Amino acid sequence: MPAPSHLQCSICGTHYHPAEVMYTCPLDGGNLTVCLDVEAVQAVASPHSISAQPDRSVWRYLPLLPVKSVPSQPGPLRSLGNTPFFHATRLGEALGLSQLWLKDDGQLPTGSFKDRASSLIVQRAIEQGIDRIVTASTGNAGVALAGMAAAASGVRAVIYLPKSAPQAKIAQLMVYGAEIHLVDGNYDAAFELSLKVCAENGWYCRNTGYNPYTTEGKKTTSFEICEQFTLQATGQSLVDGRWLAPDRVFVSVGDGNIISGVQKGFRDLYDLGWISHIPKLMGIQAEGSAAIANAFFAGNENIQPVNAQTLADSISADLPRDGLRALRAVTHTHGAYLTVSDDEILQAQVRLARQSGVYAEPAASTAFAGLLKAQQTGQIGKDEHIVVLLTGNGLKDVRATLQAVEKFGR
Ligand SMILES: Cc1ncc(COP(=O)(O)O)c(C=O)c1O
Ligand SMILES: [Zn+2]
């Protein structure tokens, strides 16, 4: 894309030149948002120029991404994107919702949404001649980094993750050849360790809610949602030269970086004048890992750590690293936070699979469990255009599935 205009701190609002700061705000540790140079992007791209591209990968959004070029090597890094998006008519009918749509990001190359961020970080690293990237992870972010690094050449992934991560995620890390550090502690412990090794060795840190560029990869799901929604709802790729946006999007939330990225994507399109409104964002947390939802319920921005306990391992976070932006993604779009129990998550996983054909891991099923709760409590209209973002493949955690079918699937 044309160079970003600046990075902006989410706490103090200070603007930085992109070359000035690598990670968080030096004044207060706030997360930095990468801000588009709107006029420069408008000068080189339009919804028409993007939709007309034969390339269906995320790289067709190059004019809106903070990289100079598309990956040169064929393979998963070059081709990821354009995941299934469809009108879930049977599931919608069962719920009395006429416009329920699903976005299945569990079909990205390593089976989770995190490929969107890792692909962008790997491409930036290649452009900057960086050969080692480190991340802390509950599992999926690490797997995504390992997979995208394996698809490139000359980039090594170093992953810190809790020993307790599901076996499939550890197996994926091993097969992609990442350097793995299993931490005798939780995700928060892995996070601290990874920061330490990066500081000591000068390695590049991909950590979510720390590296400003992860949201820039994650925002591509919002671009795809608008493009796919327009085409499927109207049969045309554009309406009056613009894309359409849905009314509401459900997103599961742990650290808060996915929902921040989803909001950033809609925000970019809105600022460019390419969509007419930003959807209401619904952030869904597990009851046992609800630091951001707690602040939302209290009506303030004071996010306090919790002692996270949930079987949805990917959204288990004591102290969300992108909490403030994740909270504002919801309040600024007039959405809401909801919490769901582990049993509601497992029940949602089974229902989603049986009534839509999408098999999602517990953390991803959480977004659908949130939709069920919002519907039961009368928080959504029956004809609203609703999207549920499904962020991870069910095969990531088969043990949880066996528990789900044992309890709710007979
Ligand atoms: C499948 C899945 N869903 C949701 C999330 C939550 O994303 P975030 O921690 O950015 O809120 C994650 C993060 O690991 C994930 O792997
Ligand atoms: Zn600041």
Ligand 1 atom closest to the Cα of residue 314 is 14
| Distance between Cα 21 and ligand 2 center (Å) | 11
Helix (H, G, I), strand (E, B) or coil at 357: coil
- Global confidence as pTM: 0.97
**Number of neighbouring beta carbons within 10 Å of residue 206:** 32
Residue nearest to atom 13 of ligand 1 (CA): 314
Mutate to test the pocket of ligand 1, among 262, 391, 395 (most ligand atoms within 8 A of CB): 391
Give the pLDDT confidence score for residue 324 in this predicted structure.
97
Ligand nearest to the CA of 142: 1
pLDDT, tens digit, for every residue of 90-128?
A: 999 999 999 999 999 999 999 999 999 999 999 999 999
Q: How far is CA 269 from CA 43, 274, 336, in A?
A: 14, 5, 22
User: What are the domain boundaries of the chain?
Assistant: 1-44, 76-112+214-408
| Summary mean pLDDT of the chain | 96
Q: Positive or negative CA dihedral for 325, 265, 357, 108?
A: negative
**Interatomic CA distance for residues 188 and 254, integer angstroms:** 12
Report strand pairing: 248-252 vs 386-390. Answer: parallel
Confidence of residue 2 (pLDDT cuts 50, 70, 90): confident
Give the SS3 label for residue 404.
helix
Q: Which ligand is nearest to the CA of 10?
A: 2
Q: Which amino acid belongs to residue 228? A: Q
Question: What CATH fold (topology level) applies to the domain 76-112+214-408?
Answer: Rossmann fold (3.40.50)
Question: Which numbered atom of ligand 1 lies nearest the CA of 255?
Answer: 9
What pLDDT band is residue 77 in, cutting at 50, 70 and 90?
A: very high
Segment 254-283 shows an average pLDDT of: 98
pLDDT digits (tens, 9 = 90+) for 302-332: 999 999 999 999 999 999 999 999 999 999 9
| Residue 39 C-alpha from the chain's centroid | 26
User: Residue 1 — pLDDT band, cuts 50, 70, 90?
Assistant: low
**Across the beta sheet with 336-340, what order do the strands follow?**
85-87, 100-104, 386-390, 248-252, 280-286, 336-340
Residues with CB under 6 A from ligand 1: 112-114, 138, 140-141, 208, 252-258, 314-315, 361, 363-364, 391-392
For residues 115 and 106, what is the distance between their CA atoms, to the nearest angstrom? Answer: 10
Lowest-pLDDT range, 4-8, 69-73, 295-299, 392-396? Answer: 4-8
